[in-house]
């Protein structure tokens, strides 16, 4: 089914009319007829000479719930005349790690293989996700074209899995130390989101947990990353984002950490966050000067 959408974007107190969007639902990006391996494509109806840059949105939900149906903040990128791709991926009740990242990379390859048909720019794709989605997009940016982690799903394994940049909203980055960084849950337990993802107690699966943690995949060739994290996140400790940024800085990978003072697990994120994301996208999509750097903001709830 195809639908047309008109979205109003609110940034820094100003309403901005986004382009009229054509939405194509439930595209099977693998070919297995699995609804968890489908994506929705939002394409600006405004005609442009150059193909549209793409924001690929990956939802959160502790890897065990969630849906592509509500891409949320990612739709704000439509105001930059970008296309939005929102994907489903297999959840832990169906399949454990690494099914989730294999699905995400298969979706990315589908977008690149079909870019010409939908007037998309395969070289300008930014991946953006929150919470579990933040983990997955960060993993995509730190394991580009990785033979053992790309998987071989779908008909487009000839396509690269490189991305232009990553926007990580409070995603877990190092499963091995989450319990030592302060949290309202026991991340080591087999019943925790991380335990369900890995298939048991995290402490008993250290090698598997390390492979699944973006922090332990970092290298100097990684994609630029914008991390947004609240200091009072009770589910994913703020130190997860801070340690990631510090290691990226040490490797001289472009990295920006936006600290939301007293921000929770996505709460307290206001106009300043939206403004920073837009600047980050403009830099990587349109080569505008990057005018954001590591900083702390305090937003009202």
For residue 43, pLDDT beyond 90: yes
**Which residues neighbour 228 within 8 Å (Cβ) at sequence distance 6 or greater?**
167, 168, 169, 170, 241, 258, 260, 269, 273, 276, 277
Mean pLDDT of 46-53: 92
Q: d(Cα 112, Cα 249) in Å, to the nearest integer? A: 29
Q: How confident is the model at residue 3 (pLDDT cuts 50, 70, 90)?
A: very low
Question: In degrees to the nearest 10, what's the CA dihedral of 118, 124, 125, 128?
Answer: -130
Q: What is the pLDDT of residue 17?
A: 43
Q: What is the pLDDT of residue 4?
A: 42
Q: What is the pLDDT of residue 267?
A: 86
Residue 301 vs residue 96, higher pLDDT? 96
Q: d(Cα 151, Cα 32) in Å, to the nearest integer? A: 15
Question: In degrees to the nearest 10, what's the CA dihedral of 144, 275, 121, 171?
Answer: 30
Strand residues in the chain grouped as ranges (E):
2-5, 8-11, 14-17, 21-28, 38-44, 52-58, 83-87, 120-130, 165-169, 225-230, 255-260, 295-297
- Rounded mean pLDDT of the chain? 92
Q: How confident is the model at residue 8 (pLDDT cuts 50, 70, 90)?
A: very low
Q: d(Cα 22, Cα 28) in Å, to the nearest integer? A: 18
Could you report the per-residue pLDDT of 182-198, keeping only the tens digit for each?
A: 888 899 999 999 999 99
Q: d(Cα 16, Cα 299) in Å, to the nearest integer? A: 21
* Burial class of residue 20 (count of CB atoms within 10 Å of its CB; 0-12, 13-18, 19+): middle
Strand residues in 61-132 grouped as ranges (E):
83-87, 120-130
Mean pLDDT of 223-236: 96
Could you report the per-residue pLDDT of 236-247, keeping only the tens digit for each?
A: 999 999 999 999
Q: What is the pLDDT of residue 301?
A: 53
Could you report the per-residue pLDDT of 84-142, keeping only the tens digit for each?
A: 999 999 999 999 999 999 999 999 999 999 999 999 999 999 999 999 999 999 999 99
Q: How many other CB atoms are there within 10 angstroms of residue 294's CB atom? A: 14
Q: How confident is the model at residue 18 (pLDDT cuts 50, 70, 90)?
A: low
Cβ contact 226:258 at 8 Å: yes
Beta partners for residue 120, in sequence order: 52
Residue 4 vs residue 126, higher pLDDT? 126
Looking at the domain 2-297, which fold is it? Rossmann fold (3.40.50)
List the one residue out of 140, 135, 73 whose CA is nearest residue 104: 140
Cα-Cα end-to-end distance for the chain: 37
Q: What is the pLDDT of residue 10?
A: 35
Domain limits of the chain? 2-297
Q: What is the pLDDT of residue 12?
A: 33
| pLDDT above 70: percentage of residues in the chain | 93
For residue 9, pLDDT beyond 60: no
Q: How confident is the model at residue 77 (pLDDT cuts 50, 70, 90)?
A: confident
Q: d(Cα 119, Cα 268) in Å, to the nearest integer? A: 36
**Exposure string over 142-181, b if 16+ CB within 10 A, otherwise e:** bbbeeeebbbebbebeebebbbbbbbbbbbbbbbbbbbee
Among 44-53, 168-177, 254-263, which stretch is predicted with the lowest mean pLDDT? 44-53
Q: What is the pLDDT of residue 104?
A: 98
Q: d(Cα 201, Cα 223) in Å, to the nearest integer? A: 31
HSE toward the beta carbon, residue 146, CA cutoff 13 A: 20
**Exposure string over 252-283, b if 16+ CB within 10 A, otherwise e:** ebebbbbbbeebbbbebbbebbbebbbbbbeb
Q: How confident is the model at residue 300 (pLDDT cuts 50, 70, 90)?
A: low
């Amino acid at each position: 089914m195809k639908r047309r959408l008109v979205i109003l974007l609110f940034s820094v107190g100003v309403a901005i009319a986004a382009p009229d969007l054509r939405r194509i639902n439930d595209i099977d990006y693998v070919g297995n007829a699995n609804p968890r391996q489908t994506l929705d494509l939002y394409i600006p109806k405004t005609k442009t000479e150059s193909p549209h840059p793409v924001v690929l949105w990956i939802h959160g939900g502790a890897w065990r719930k969630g849906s592509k149906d509500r891409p949320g903040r990612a739709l704000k990128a439509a105001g930059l005349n970008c296309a939005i791709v929102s994907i489903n991926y297999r959840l832990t009740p169906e399949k454990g790690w690494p099914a989730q990242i294999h699905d995400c990379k298969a979706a990315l390859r589908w977008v690149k293989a079909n870019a010409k048909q939908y007037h998309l720019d395969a070289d300008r794709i930014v991946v953006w996700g929150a919470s579990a989605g933040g983990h997955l997009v960060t993993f995509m940016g730190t394991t580009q074209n990785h033979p053992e982690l790309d998987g071989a799903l779908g008909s487009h394994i000839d396509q690269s899995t490189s991305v232009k940049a990553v926007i990580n909203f409070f995603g877990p980055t190092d499963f091995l130390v989450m319990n030592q960084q302060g949290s309202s849950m026991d991340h080591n337990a087999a019943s925790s989101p991380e335990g369900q993802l890995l298939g048991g107690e995290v402490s008993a699966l250290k090698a598997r947990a390390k492979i699944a943690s973006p922090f332990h995949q970092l290298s100097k060739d990684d994609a630029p990353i914008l991390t947004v994290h609240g200091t009072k996140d009770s589910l994913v400790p703020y130190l997860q984002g801070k340690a990631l940024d510090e290691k990226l800085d040490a490797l001289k990978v472009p990295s920006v950490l936006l600290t939301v003072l007293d921000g929770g697990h996505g709460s307290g994120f206001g106009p300043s966050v939206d403004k920073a994301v837009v600047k980050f996208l403009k830099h990587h999509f349109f080569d505008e000067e990057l005018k954001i750097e590591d900083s702390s903001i305090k937003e009202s709830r």
